[in-house]
Structure 1
Amino acid sequence: MGKTKNGIERLMNSFKVYDEIDEKVYHDAHLLLNIYSDVLWGIKNSYTNIVCECKEIYGNSSVAVLDVMTEFGSDLKAKLLHEQLEDAEASKVIIDIINSALLRLKTYPKKGEAYHKILNATYFSDKKYEEQDLLDMLELSRSTYFRQRKKAISLFGVISWGYVLPEFISNMRLD
């Protein structure tokens, strides 16, 4: 774990997160956090549709039926369902990357838990808080919240693209 923390600190320095925020990293990470709930909803909705269609067409809700059908290429509907499944799988990878980056953020030695709490309450909570309720819950002033949120988003971005994504890619190549 010490090796990872030192590596994250080096990455943070290269992205200038301590002194100034790398605007591209911040912007991209902020976009990713903003789409998280949409992606989560999409994967849930897509999976539900796939299961329903598979059950309707084949009398079985098992998506394994799709693999057999698309191998033979005998049914256009099966191909479409298979494509939907692949889209859902891609969305799941995004969710896994985000969740993994959040776990790493939480263990970061310099305000990692505080940053995790901010991002969790802002982007991942089932309840959408009014600004004042959010500030009260986090026990932060408005200016401190926005300053720390920006640093949390930037650190999340560095961890996502600097560590988690390369690990996912490396693991995919090994499979």
Structure 2
Amino acid sequence: MEMESGLYKEMDIHRTSCINNSKISPNVYHNTKLLLTLYNKVLWRINQSLDVVREDCLYSTQKHLDELINSLVDVDLYLSKTRFESRLQSIEESRSIINLVDKALIMLKSHPDNGERYYSLLYKAYISPYKYSEEEMLEYLCVSRSTYFREKKRAIRLLGTILWGFLIPKLAKELKQVYVLEY
């Protein structure tokens, strides 16, 4: 709990700089908005890729993907191992990005300053399978159009700070430690 409050103190410093447009790369906002925009397309791609892998497995091996994974020794006999590994690796990388965005959204939701509101705004605007129209968002939030866009921008900036300022550096540090341990 103490670590969590320390994180919020750090986030508050970054949030203030995000809202005041200082000390933040313009790429953070742009990249975060791009990730949000692509979120559902990436989920769709993951599902489609899994379907293709399932169909390839069934066609080539007459086994379902689950059965094939349980007996990976059979992969060499029926499928190109590198092609199979490449497809699974691509799916895993895409899933990792989605998980990172999901984790950042959960952190955003628990943020003490408008976290729930910002989460709800971003979820309804980008993540939900049902895309809310601008009019529906204005009605839902009970705000003017200019206030909606201002809050949306703040929400994206705060999410970007969480993502690029905390989660990704933490992940990079963990990966670096694993790399050092392996070699």
Matching residue of 2:167: 164
Matched residues in 2 for 1:150 and 1:101: separation?
Answer: 16
Matching residue of 1:143: 146
Say whether the 8 Å CA contact 2:60–2:78 is kept in structure 1.
no
Matched residues in 2 for 1:152 and 1:129: separation?
Answer: 16
Matched residues in 1 for 2:173 and 2:110: separation?
Answer: 22
Of residues 99, 121, 126, the one that matches 1:123 is 126
Question: Which structure 2 residues correspond to residues 43-122 of structure 1 after superposition, within 5 A?
Answer: 43-61=46-64, 62=66, 63-64=68-69, 67-68=72-73, 77-122=80-125
Q: CA RMSD in A?
A: 2.2
User: Are positions 1:37 and 2:40 aligned together?
Assistant: yes
Matched AA of 1:18: I
Say whether the 8 Å CA contact 1:25–1:154 is kept in structure 2.
yes
Matched AA of 2:39: Y
- Cα displacement (A) at 1:76: 5.9
Matched residues in 1 for 2:133 and 2:106: separation?
Answer: 25
Say whether the 8 Å CA contact 2:50–2:91 is kept in structure 1.
yes
Matched AA of 1:140: V
TM-score, scaled to structure 1: 0.87
- Cα displacement (A) at 1:158: 0.8
Matched residues in 2 for 1:170 and 1:139: separation?
Answer: 42
**Mean CA deviation greater in 141-150 or 1-10:** 1-10
- Cα displacement (A) at 1:134: 1.8
Query: How many residue pairs are counted as aligned between the two chains?
Result: 171
Matched AA of 1:160: L
Matched residues in 1 for 2:96 and 2:48: separation?
Answer: 16
What is the CA deviation profile of residues 74-129 of structure 1, one whole-angstrom value per residue up to 9, with x for unaligned ones? 66633212211110000000000000000000111111111111101100111122
Q: Which runs of 5+ in 1 are unaligned?
A: none
Matching residue of 1:19: 20
Percent pairwise identity: 30
- Cα displacement (A) at 1:69: 5.3
Q: Which runs of 5+ in 2 are unaligned?
A: none
**Mean CA deviation greater in 1-10 or 153-162:** 1-10
Cα distance change, pair 130–162 in 1 and its aligned pair in 2 (3 A): same
